[in-house]
């Protein structure tokens, strides 16, 4: 039953969280350290990929590539792009490195990209916990970056991001980020205390979740937070079992802004603006003005600021916050954040065709 009054402590959340997704979110700092160790244990050589890096994957397995690109920012020296499809971008060449990222190792789209990259003669690397992808890679002599098992794919976000950063470094698309990852893990441990279930009921994470109850969330990002806005949307979909949407500024101000005039006729929509300390000054102006223009027709509006000094700290502070908000919102709605029944049904039906 949906309520804004429930206490968001471990005991209350545990009553509906059958697979303990909360613990996996709180373990993100530990996951970052373990991911770094696992990436280094793969003992990748260094090579040169003038055409850059493509991260092929779907869902929670793909997001790591996009977050790695966001964290690298201007330090990325070559293109780092995602392929969320059954094939690679048409401009992919043998001079491209392709990281095939699938948590289960059985994602059919990623397997298709693995085969396509091999046929093309591109350098391949795999990040997975096992499955068919690991079997193929080992048979082909393709390096495998191991990922911890026993998680929902979306909970492996730290592993997939670190794997993408490591491959970006090895293929010449970006700098080494090991020290930044260690520092970010320490920073996140502090935020776990500030935002976690033992935090006061008026903490930022819990307040944000309560503000979204009974609404359809729309999450806005810009620059560094663009990909993070997409991550928030997908976590609200899978954990809180809600339709949710995302867009980026300034583009949203050239189209979607007008759509808010009819929002109240359809449902209660809420808006969350993800901001960063390095945001362009005009984007800061746009967030303030956009929020003001839609406030009267929105169920709620919120502005959230990244936390930290380095880009990696700031990216993962917002990942942690969004993941916690999605778990808290699931608890407030009385739904189990773990199962994703419709996705499993779809996979089963696809397997029959």
Q: Where are the domains of the chain?
A: 10-18+190-333, 23-176
pLDDT of amino acid 3? 66
Catalytic, out of 7, 135, 251, 347:
347
- Name the DSSP letter for residue 130: S
> Token pair 């979607």 is at which residue?
256
Give the gyration radius of the chain's Cα atoms: 20
Kindly list the distances between the CA atom of residue 97 and the CA atoms of 80, 109, 217, in Å, as whole numbers in the listed order: 10, 17, 36
pLDDT at 6: 80
User: Per residue in 1-24, is it b (16+ CB within 10 Å) or e — as a string?
Assistant: eeeeebebebeebeebbeeebbeb
pLDDT over threshold 80, residue 30: yes
254 tagged catalytic: yes
CA 185, 35, 64, 349 torsion: positive or negative?
negative
- CB contact at 8 A, 129 and 85: no
**Cis amide bond preceding 343, omega within 30:** no
pLDDT averaged over every residue in the chain: 96
As beta bridge partners, residue 102 has 128
Six-digit token pair at 180? 């930044």
Residue 1 pLDDT greater than 90, yes or no: no
* Identified catalytic residue from 11, 46, 254, 352: 254
Distance CA 270, CA 266 (A): 12
Judge whether 338 and 326 are in contact, CB under 8 Å.
no
Cβ contact 47:172 at 8 Å: yes
Q: Does 108 score more than 80 pLDDT?
A: yes
Mean pLDDT of 205-226: 98
User: What dotted CATH number matches 23-176?
Assistant: 3.40.50.10490
Label residue 36 by pLDDT band (50, 70, 90): very high
pLDDT band at 45 (very low <50, low <70, confident <90, very high): very high
Span 142-161, average pLDDT: 97
Residue 98 has pLDDT above 90, yes or no: yes
Coil, helix or strand at residue 224: helix
Six token digits for residue 118: 């091999």
Q: Measure CA 313 to chain center.
A: 14
pLDDT score of 300: 97
Q: Which residues contact 276 (CB under 8 A, 6 or more apart)?
A: 222, 223, 224, 225, 305, 306, 314
Q: Catalytic: which of 109, 166, 204, 238?
A: 238
Separation of CA 220 from chain center: 14
The question of whether 238 is a catalytic residue gets the answer yes
Is 347 an active-site residue?
yes
Alpha carbons 249 and 303: distance in angstroms, whole number: 13
Task: Give yes or no on whether 10-18+190-333 and 23-176 have one common fold.
Answer: yes
Q: What are phi and psi of 173, to 5 degrees?
A: -95, -10
- 5 pLDDT more than 90: no
- What mean pLDDT do residues 173-179 have? 95
DSSP state of 75: G
Q: Give Cα 168 distance to the centre of its chain.
A: 18
Which fold does the domain 10-18+190-333 belong to in CATH?
Answer: Rossmann fold (3.40.50)
């Amino acid at each position: 039953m949906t309520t804004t009054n429930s206490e968001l402590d471990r005991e209350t959340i545990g009553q509906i969280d059958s697979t303990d997704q909360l613990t996996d979110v709180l373990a993100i700092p530990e996951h970052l350290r373990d991911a770094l160790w696992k990436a280094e244990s793969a003992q990748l050589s260094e090579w040169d990929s003038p055409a850059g890096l493509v991260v092929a994957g779907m869902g929670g397995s793909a997001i790591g590539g996009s977050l790695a690109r966001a964290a690298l920012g201007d330090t990325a020296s070559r293109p780092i792009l995602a392929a969320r499809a059954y094939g690679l971008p048409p401009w992919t060449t043998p001079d491209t490195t392709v990281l095939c990222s699938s948590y289960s190792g059985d994602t059919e789209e990623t397997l298709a990209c693995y085969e396509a990259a091999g046929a093309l003669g591109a350098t391949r690397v795999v990040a997975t916990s096992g499955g068919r992808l690991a079997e193929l890679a080992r048979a082909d002599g393709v390096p495998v970056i191991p990922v911890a098992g026993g998680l929902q794919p979306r909970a492996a976000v730290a592993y997939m991001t670190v794997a993408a950063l490591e491959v970006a470094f090895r293929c010449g698309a970006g700098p080494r980020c090991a020290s930044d990852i260690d520092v970010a893990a320490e920073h996140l441990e502090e935020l776990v205390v500030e935002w976690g279930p033992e935090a006061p009921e008026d903490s930022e994470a819990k307040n944000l979740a309560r503000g979204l109850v009974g609404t359809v969330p729309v999450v806005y990002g810009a620059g560094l937070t663009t990909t993070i806005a997409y991550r928030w949307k997908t976590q609200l979909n899978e954990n809180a079992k809600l339709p949710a949407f995302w867009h980026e500024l300034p583009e949203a101000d050239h189209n979607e802004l007008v759509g808010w005039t009819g929002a109240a006729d359809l449902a209660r929509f809420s808006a969350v603006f993800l901001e960063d300390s390095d945001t362009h000054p005009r984007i800061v102006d746009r967030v303030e003005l956009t929020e003001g223009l839609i406030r009267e027709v929105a169920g709620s509006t919120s502005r959230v600021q990244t936390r930290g000094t380095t880009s990696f700290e700031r990216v993962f502070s917002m990942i942690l916050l969004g993941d916690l908000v999605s778990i808290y919102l699931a608890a407030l709605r009385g739904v189990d954040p773990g199962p994703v029944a419709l996705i499993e049904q779809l996979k089963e039906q696809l397997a029959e065709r």
